[in-house]
Structure 1
Amino acid sequence: MSAYDDLMAFQRETEALAQVAGRLGWDQETVMPRGAAEQRSEEMAAMEGVLHARRTDPRIAGWLGQARAADDVAAAQLRLIRRSYERAVKVPASLAQEIARVTSMAQGIWAEARAKEDVPGFLPVLADVIRLRQEEGAALAGGGDPYDALIDDYEPGATAETIGAMFGRMRPRLVALREKVLGAARQPVGLSGHFGAEAQMRFARDLASAFGYDWSRGRLDLAVHPFSSGSGDDARITTRVVESEPFNCFYSTIHEVGHACYELGIDGDYRLTPLGAGVSMGVHESQSRIYENQLGRSRAFTGWMFGQMRERFGEFGVNDADAFHAAVNRVQPGFIRTEADEVHYNLHIMMRFDLERALIRGDLAVGDLEAAWNDRFAADFGVTVDRPSHGMLQDVHWSVGLFGYFPTYSLGNVYAGCLHRALRADIPDLDDHLARGDAAPATAWLRERLQRHGGLREPRATIAHACGFEPSEGPLLDYIEAKFAAIYDL
Structure 2
Amino acid sequence: MSAYDELMAFQHTTEALAQVAGRLGWDQETMMPRGAAPQRSEEMAAMESVLHARRTDPKVGDWLAAIDDAVLDDVGQAQMRHIRKSYARTMKVPAELAAEIAKVTSRAQGQWAEARSDEDVAAFLPVLEEVVGLKRQEGQALADGGDVYDAMIDDYEPEMTAAELGAMFDAMRPRLVALRAAVLAAEAPAALSGSFPAQKQMQLTRELARSFGYDMSHGRVDKAVHPFSSGSGKDVRITTRTSEHDPFNCFYSTIHEVGHGCYEQNIDEAYLLTPLGQGVSMGVHESQSRIYENQLGRSRAFTGWLFEQMQESFGAFGVADKEAFYGTVNRVHDGYIRTEADEVQYNLHIMLRFDLERALMQGDLAVGDLEAAWNDRFEADFGYAVDKPSNGVLQDVHWSVGLFGYFPTYSLGNVYAGCLHEALRAAVPDLDGQLAAGDTSAATGWLRETLQQHGGLRKPRETILHASGIEPSPEPLLAYLEAKFGDLYGL
TM-score grouping bracket, smaller chain normalisation? over 0.9
Matched position secondary structure for 1:375: helix
Residue 332 of structure 1: how far off its partner (Å): 1.1
* 1:31 to 2:48 alignment: no
Residue 89 in 1 paired to residue 91 in 2? yes
What are structure 2's unaligned runs of at least 5 residues?
none
C-alpha deviation, 1:422, in angstroms: 0.2
Residue 383 of structure 1 corresponds to 384
Question: Take 1:267 and 1:286, find their aligned partners in 2: how far apart are those partners?
Answer: 19
Give the corresponding residue for 1:194.
195
Q: Does structure 2 retain, via aligned residues, the 8 Å contact 1:229–1:236?
A: yes
The one-letter code matched in structure 1 to 2:126 is P
Residues 286, 413 of structure 1: 8 Å contact kept: yes
- Tell me how far apart the structure 1 counterparts of residues 347 and 330 of structure 2 sit (CA, whole Å): 15
**Mapped partners of 1:381, 1:24: distance in 2:** 38
1 CA distance for matches of 2:430 and 2:270? 33
Q: Any idea what SS the aligned residue of 1:238 has?
A: strand
Measure how far apart 1:395 and its partner are. 0.1
Do 1:274 and 1:455's aligned partners in 2 also have CA atoms closer than 8 Å? Answer: yes
CA distance in 2, matches of 1:312, 1:201: 11
- How far apart are residue 315 of structure 1 and its match? 2.0
- 1:63 corresponds in structure 2 to 63
Deviation at 1:61, TM superposition (A): 1.4
Give the alignment partner of residue 148 of structure 1, picking from 136, 147, 150: 150
What are the residue-to-residue correspondences of 1:46-445 with 2, within 5 Å?
Answer: 46-69=46-69, 70-184=72-186, 186-445=187-446
* In structure 2, distance between residues paired with 1:204 and 1:68: 49
Equivalent pairs counted in the alignment come to 489
Tell me how far apart the structure 2 counterparts of residues 397 and 333 of structure 1 sit (CA, whole Å).
Answer: 23
Write the distance in 1 (CA, Å) between the matches of 2:192 and 2:123.
Answer: 36
Deviation at 1:276, TM superposition (A): 0.2
Letter in 2 for 1:139: A
3-state DSSP of counterpart to 2:439: coil
Q: Does the Cα contact within 8 Å between 1:190 and 1:318 map onto a contact in 2?
A: no
Q: CA deviation at 1:352?
A: 0.2
Tell me, yes or no, if structure 1 residue 478 matches structure 2 residue 479: yes
- The alignment's TM-score, normalised by the length of structure 1, stands at 0.99
SS in 2 for 1:89: helix
Separation of aligned partners in 2, 1:272 and 1:4:
15
Q: Counterparts of 1:356 and 1:436 in 2: how far apart (Å)?
A: 43
In the alignment, residue 144 of structure 1 is paired with which amino acid? G
Identity %: 73
Q: Where in structure 2 are the equivalents of 1:445-464 lying within 5 Å?
A: 445-464=446-465
> What is the RMSD of the two structures over their aligned residues, measured on CA atoms?
0.6
SS in 2 for 1:356: helix
For 1:395 and 1:255, locate their aligned partners in 2 and report how far apart those are by CA, in whole Å: 16
Secondary structure (helix, strand or coil) at the match of 2:238 reads: strand
Tell me the distance in 1 between the aligned counterparts of 2:29 and 2:194: 30
TM-score (norm 2): 0.99
Residues 432-474 of structure 1 show CA distances to partners (whole Å, capped at 9, x for unaligned) of 1100001000000000000000000000000000011111000
What is the deviation of 1:310? 1.3
Segments of 4+ in structure 1 off by > 3 A? none
Which stretch has the larger CA shift, 54-63 or 122-131?
54-63
CA distance in 2, matches of 1:101, 1:249: 31
1:203-227 CA-to-partner distances (Å, cap 9, x unmatched) read 0011001100001100000000000
Does structure 2 retain, via aligned residues, the 8 Å contact 1:270–1:276? yes
Contact 1:286–1:415 (8 Å) recurs in 2: yes
Query: Does the CA contact (< 8 Å) of 1:4 and 1:68 recur in 2?
Result: no
1:40 and 2:19 matched: no
The whole-number CA distance in structure 2 between the counterparts of 1:67 and 1:431 is 50
Q: What runs of 5+ residues in structure 1 fail to find an aligned partner?
A: none
Q: Secondary structure at the match of 1:139?
A: helix
CA distance in 2, matches of 1:11, 1:5: 10
What residue identity is the alignment partner of 2:148?
A: P
Name the SS for the 1:343 alignment partner. helix
Distance 1:467 1:138 in 2: 36
| Mapped contact 1:279–1:455 kept (Cα < 8 A) | yes
Which residue is equivalent to 1:489?
490
What is the letter of the counterpart of residue 101 of structure 1? Answer: K
Aligned equivalents of 1:9 and 1:333: distance in 2? 52
Give the C-alpha shift of residue 333 in structure 1: 2.4
Q: CA deviation at 1:68?
A: 3.3
| Segment of structure 1 superposing worse, 301-310 or 19-28 | 301-310
Partner amino acid, structure 1, of 2:131: V
For the 8 Å contact 1:231–1:277, the answer to whether it is kept is yes
Tell me, what secondary structure is at the counterpart of 1:171? helix
- Residue by residue over 1:53-82, the C-alpha shift from the partner in whole angstroms, topping out at 9 and shown as x without a partner, is 111111111111112342000000000000
Q: Which amino acid aligns with 1:3?
A: A
